[in-house]
Chains A and B, each alone.
Chain A
């Protein structure tokens, strides 16, 4: 038996529940996200997110895709507006070109190296009358991860060619192995065909760019004082350089895809590649499931990439976006993100308080593959002046690019 009064009680309770849901959704964002109601969204839209678009070099993909959701869900916001990170990956030079060509208008850029930032600073000043980046200002431009350039090979093949550690003439030795018309038959393995080397496209990617620079320094047996004349005036050098490049079938647009091809196609396609130490570490385990162990060689002198993240000083970047980007940068150099970078992806953190040799560290796990935490023995080559760098790039573009 029911009375109108009971009806009223139920109706009011239900109504209060509905009002309760409505109010709760307005006050508590996660509740709002769970209790999606189209009409409410129309009348009272949630605070618009501040979107930070990031153009970055491909080898950072796995690390960024892991740390970005954690950052977004940490409740980071600018004046109550949640921060949304939009990632787009490409080769390091492709990042710079996209910004200069106005094809993209990102808030943050992260090529692999300060070399690209320096080039952007120069070119944008000439093109637009002011620089789009300010690398000297750490509030706007920060190095986030460090990694050296190395040679990576399939262990079985590398051991047949070199054994433990090639000497100071690594680049010359590599050249000789590559042009040998007998190929692997000279080492008793005719079924392996030619000795095959690869690096990424120097015009699109930083690692390829660094590789041809190291090759050139290696030819001359020096680690500093490279000039445009070294590249233009010595025909023996040019021939040597072009002989190496002619054996490379294809130049991948960025380091990440190059390493992926190494693992996917195995030693049939690449015996040796020049990539970042971190890229090789990232794939070391996958390699075993595919074609075997990897072997890393540190060249006699190397170049370090410190993966700068720079907030662009451009008219399309709002103040809110700048603040959001700064919050994101703070997060990237914070301990949790830096530890993930080391333990999961083999980067050397810029936070030097994080020990490289700790349980679970890749330098521990993959020591047998030649990876070493302490690289104090390894000199870095001097970055030559802009004229030499540009000459080298032009030489490659004119004689090799396909």
Chain B
């Protein structure tokens, strides 16, 4: 009896003093925080997401926090969030500019605010014009303050860089992202408008009716080689392909720091790049951390999102942000290397900002841009061989119709169909005159025969070279589901002919290839696209629409 008594007492006290956390050890006890964010933060944020997840952070009730992150262009997520097809916990666009617009749209549908409270800034970076240093020097940098007015002058000059003593640089080639998809794009066209009106604030719809504004914008846009969805992408392109591809592009300061760091460490063999802070004024990106006030966000997720936010704002993570070229939100961190002249940066800049216009004015600026932007000369080359039958041909047709709707009346479209034969559905000519006819013809496409991929591509290329306007964005979109089975020309012969005329760097005709389904030869399609500055996509009936959407942002 005594033994049993003692045993019970001892066991009980062992149990009662047994240390250790019980919570969180039960399976299924986790909460997911999904964050959709502007891709220019990718290099800084992604490793931190991994680090945070590995640390095993928990909510107050002991649930494990798992962060899932997806980089995108800043404006892209807005559509998805408003439609409810994208349901993140947190949204972090490049700038707070959109938040009032997103709120207004959301309120129409839901009667409440999507963005509540006062979101904190994660990291800061001003919008700048990245330019190769010798080119900036030719314009008078750093002694002379440069800006949009200088871009406009260069862009309209027929002499290009020869007016500045450098004929070897050719024409002035410029780039910024598509205003419908990316923050730096919308900021660029607002800045162009301010420069055109010579104002820095108080922009009104009346100001935009001055024909000089349209002329100025068209002048700057004339030098654009193409648009695109994300600022990060633009910077990547420019720094990979060098001065013959782009003379300058609108990017964020941190992207220049990253490139110069690569150059200084020997990872990039490009010439130096510098940040030009437009003298007329610029905008800041503040990367707000917005926990959405949406029906799909639970209180637990809100709490977990707050814990992740505190982690990102903590000093070690903010020091890392400085390493990646951001100006930290943690104000106790001074601005120092790599934010320095060695990396093409001037921390005393920017000297002044431009006021953000109200929503009505921004919408009008976007309309003005669509009417003055560079038109595109586009050849679509579509595989209609027998293997395309069924769902493939149906979705290929449907997505091409959607794609055509995104093109403006001023854009010129030609469509070539290939199987055993090559036929022209519609020759290269302005869409405005023939839009309905083209839509009807595309609806009537059906499949049959072999696959003459190379011949068709070459035909389109020759067509565009002969009939395209070198002052337009010229591009070819090739969609194929299989390997070439019947061309007269070989791939090598075709590529030789294409490369022979690819001397104009950024202004060259770009080929985008879409590998549609499993049978398509991705490698060959890549070989066709990449040397021209285009891109190869893997597609299926499920995502073909999205691919076409992305290609559309180039124009």
* Contact between B331 and A268, CB atoms less than 8 A apart: no
Question: Which of A10-18, A114-122, A140-148 forms part of the interface with chain B?
Answer: A10-18
* Contact between A36 and B124, CB atoms less than 8 A apart: no
Please classify how large the interface on chain A is, using the bins under 10, 10 to 19, 20 to 34, 35 or more.
35 or more
Cα separation A111 to B282 with both chains bound (whole Å)? 36
Cα separation A268 to B346 with both chains bound (whole Å)? 13
What mask results when residues 13 to 27 of chain A are scored 1 for a CB within 8 Å of chain B, else 0? 011001101100100
* Contact between A193 and B351, CB atoms less than 8 A apart: yes
Contact of B352 among A21, A192, A283 (CB under 8 A): A192
Complex interface: chain A residues within 8 A of B331 (CB): 260, 263-264, 283, 286, 290
Complex interface: chain B residues within 8 A of A194 (CB): 200-201, 352
- Which residues from 316 to 336 on chain B have a C-beta closer than 8 Å to any C-beta of chain A? 327, 329, 331-336
**Residue in A closest to B22 when the chains form the complex, CB atoms:** A38
Question: Which of B10-18, B106-114, B496-504 forms part of the interface with chain A?
Answer: B10-18
Asked whether B355 is an interface residue with its Cβ less than 8 Å from the other chain, the reply is yes
Cα separation A14 to B23 with both chains bound (whole Å)? 26
Complex interface: chain B residues within 8 A of A22 (CB): 13, 16-17
Complex interface: chain A residues within 8 A of B329 (CB): 264
What mask results when residues 271 to 292 of chain A are scored 1 for a CB within 8 Å of chain B, else 0? 0000000000001001011110
* Contact between A35 and B19, CB atoms less than 8 A apart: yes
Cα separation A12 to B19 with both chains bound (whole Å)? 20
- Which residues from 353 to 399 on chain B have a C-beta closer than 8 Å to any C-beta of chain A? 353, 355-356
Asked whether A162 is an interface residue with its Cβ less than 8 Å from the other chain, the reply is no
Complex interface: chain B residues within 8 A of A267 (CB): 351
**Residue in A closest to B283 when the chains form the complex, CB atoms:** A268
Complex interface: chain B residues within 8 A of A234 (CB): none
- Which residues from 190 to 220 on chain B have a C-beta closer than 8 Å to any C-beta of chain A? 200-201
B502 to chain A, nearest CB (A): 41
Complex interface: chain A residues within 8 A of B281 (CB): 193, 268
B431 to chain A, nearest CB (A): 40
What mask results when residues 6 to 48 of chain B are scored 1 for a CB within 8 Å of chain A, else 0? 1001100111111111110000000000000000000000000
Cα separation A288 to B352 with both chains bound (whole Å)? 19
Asked whether B348 is an interface residue with its Cβ less than 8 Å from the other chain, the reply is yes
Cα separation A264 to B145 with both chains bound (whole Å)? 23
- What total of A-B pairs shows CB separation below 8 Å? 105
B69 to chain A, nearest CB (A): 24
B167 to chain A, nearest CB (A): 32
Cα separation A22 to B6 with both chains bound (whole Å)? 16
B2 to chain A, nearest CB (A): 11
* Contact between A21 and B284, CB atoms less than 8 A apart: no
Complex interface: chain B residues within 8 A of A21 (CB): 13, 17
* Contact between B352 and A191, CB atoms less than 8 A apart: yes
Cα separation A263 to B334 with both chains bound (whole Å)? 11
* Contact between B118 and A19, CB atoms less than 8 A apart: no
A178 to chain B, nearest CB (A): 11
Cα separation A286 to B328 with both chains bound (whole Å)? 12
- Which residues from 188 to 204 on chain A have a C-beta closer than 8 Å to any C-beta of chain B? 191-194, 196
Asked whether A269 is an interface residue with its Cβ less than 8 Å from the other chain, the reply is yes
- Which residues from 238 to 286 on chain A have a C-beta closer than 8 Å to any C-beta of chain B? 247, 249, 253, 257, 260, 263-265, 267-269, 283, 286
**A257 and B118 contact, Cβ closer than 8 Å, known pairs A15-B10, A36-B19:** yes
Complex interface: chain A residues within 8 A of B356 (CB): 249
* Contact between B118 and A269, CB atoms less than 8 A apart: no
- Which residues from 168 to 207 on chain A have a C-beta closer than 8 Å to any C-beta of chain B? 183, 191-194, 196
* Contact between A290 and B19, CB atoms less than 8 A apart: no
**Residue in B closest to A183 when the chains form the complex, CB atoms:** B200
What mask results when residues 359 to 401 of chain A are scored 1 for a CB within 8 Å of chain B, else 0? 0000000000000000000000000000000000000000000
* Contact between A37 and B18, CB atoms less than 8 A apart: yes
Cα separation A253 to B15 with both chains bound (whole Å)? 52
Complex interface: chain B residues within 8 A of A260 (CB): 331
Cα separation A193 to B329 with both chains bound (whole Å)? 24
A47 to chain B, nearest CB (A): 18
Asked whether B170 is an interface residue with its Cβ less than 8 Å from the other chain, the reply is no
* Contact between A18 and B118, CB atoms less than 8 A apart: no
Cα separation A264 to B321 with both chains bound (whole Å)? 14
Contact of A11 among B10, B19, B21, B201 (CB under 8 A): B10
Complex interface: chain A residues within 8 A of B334 (CB): 288-290
Asked whether A104 is an interface residue with its Cβ less than 8 Å from the other chain, the reply is no
Cα separation A257 to B286 with both chains bound (whole Å)? 14
Contact of B10 among A18, A247, A291 (CB under 8 A): A18
Asked whether A39 is an interface residue with its Cβ less than 8 Å from the other chain, the reply is yes
B65 to chain A, nearest CB (A): 21
Cα separation A12 to B5 with both chains bound (whole Å)? 12
* Contact between A191 and B145, CB atoms less than 8 A apart: yes
B34 to chain A, nearest CB (A): 26
B376 to chain A, nearest CB (A): 36
* Contact between B348 and A193, CB atoms less than 8 A apart: no
Asked whether B180 is an interface residue with its Cβ less than 8 Å from the other chain, the reply is no
B81 to chain A, nearest CB (A): 23
Asked whether A222 is an interface residue with its Cβ less than 8 Å from the other chain, the reply is no
Complex interface: chain A residues within 8 A of B19 (CB): 35-37
Contact of B353 among A40, A247, A268, A283 (CB under 8 A): A268
Asked whether B450 is an interface residue with its Cβ less than 8 Å from the other chain, the reply is no
**Residue in A closest to B147 when the chains form the complex, CB atoms:** A191
Cα separation A19 to B6 with both chains bound (whole Å)? 12
* Contact between A15 and B332, CB atoms less than 8 A apart: no
Cα separation A53 to B124 with both chains bound (whole Å)? 33
Complex interface: chain A residues within 8 A of B505 (CB): none
Cα separation A11 to B17 with both chains bound (whole Å)? 16
Complex interface: chain B residues within 8 A of A253 (CB): 118
Complex interface: chain B residues within 8 A of A39 (CB): 15-16, 18
**Residue in A closest to B23 when the chains form the complex, CB atoms:** A38
Cα separation A280 to B145 with both chains bound (whole Å)? 32
- Which residues from 77 to 118 on chain A have a C-beta closer than 8 Å to any C-beta of chain B? none
What mask results when residues 410 to 426 of chain B are scored 1 for a CB within 8 Å of chain A, else 0? 00000000000000000
B22 to chain A, nearest CB (A): 4
Asked whether B279 is an interface residue with its Cβ less than 8 Å from the other chain, the reply is yes
A143 to chain B, nearest CB (A): 27
* Contact between B17 and A15, CB atoms less than 8 A apart: no
Contact of B20 among A14, A18, A36, A249 (CB under 8 A): A36
B8 to chain A, nearest CB (A): 11
* Contact between A15 and B353, CB atoms less than 8 A apart: no
**Residue in A closest to B14 when the chains form the complex, CB atoms:** A18
Complex interface: chain A residues within 8 A of B14 (CB): 14-15, 18
* Contact between B124 and A35, CB atoms less than 8 A apart: no
The 3 A-B residue pairs whose C-beta atoms are closest, nearest first, are A289-B334, A193-B352, A15-B10
Give 27 A-B contacts (CB < 8 Å), ordered by A residue: A11-B10, A12-B6, A15-B6, A18-B14, A19-B17, A22-B13, A37-B18, A37-B20, A191-B351, A191-B352, A192-B351, A192-B352, A193-B353, A194-B200, A196-B352, A247-B201, A249-B201, A253-B118, A264-B286, A268-B281, A268-B282, A268-B284, A268-B352, A283-B331, A289-B332, A289-B333, A291-B348
